[in-house]
């Protein structure tokens, strides 16, 4: 099955040579292709970022609830 049949698209990524060398070394240690290593790194970063945003939203909602509860105590 061709990559385009799976929803993949070619993407040119310019990396500093030192970063590419380190990524290739780590990919090799993990028995992964450089492409798969970079794909997994991007997926992990997206997952961490999304989780951080969810936690920040949850914290804001929690603080808003505490503030509202405190305000209700002062009013009554």
What confidence tens digit (pLDDT) does each residue in 20-50 have?
999 999 999 999 999 999 999 999 999 999 9
* Per-residue model confidence (pLDDT) at position 65: 74
| Percentages of the chain per state (helix, strand, coil), in multiples of 5 | 80, 0, 20
* Per-residue model confidence (pLDDT) at position 49: 92
Q: Specify whether the CB–CB gap between 23 and 38 falls below 8 A.
A: yes
Residues across the chain: 76
Reply yes or no on whether the pLDDT at 70 is more than 70.
Answer: no
Tokens of 47: 């997952």
Reply yes or no on whether the pLDDT at 5 is more than 70.
Answer: no
């Amino acid at each position: 099955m061709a990559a385009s049949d799976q929803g993949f698209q070619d993407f040119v990524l310019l990396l500093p040579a030192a970063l590419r060398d380190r990524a290739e070394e780590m990919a090799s240690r993990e028995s992964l292709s450089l492409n798969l290593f970079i794909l997994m790194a991007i997926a992990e970063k997206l997952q961490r970022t999304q989780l951080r945003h969810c936690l920040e939203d949850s914290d804001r909602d929690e603080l808003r609830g505490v503030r509202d509860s405190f305000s209700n105590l002062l009013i009554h």
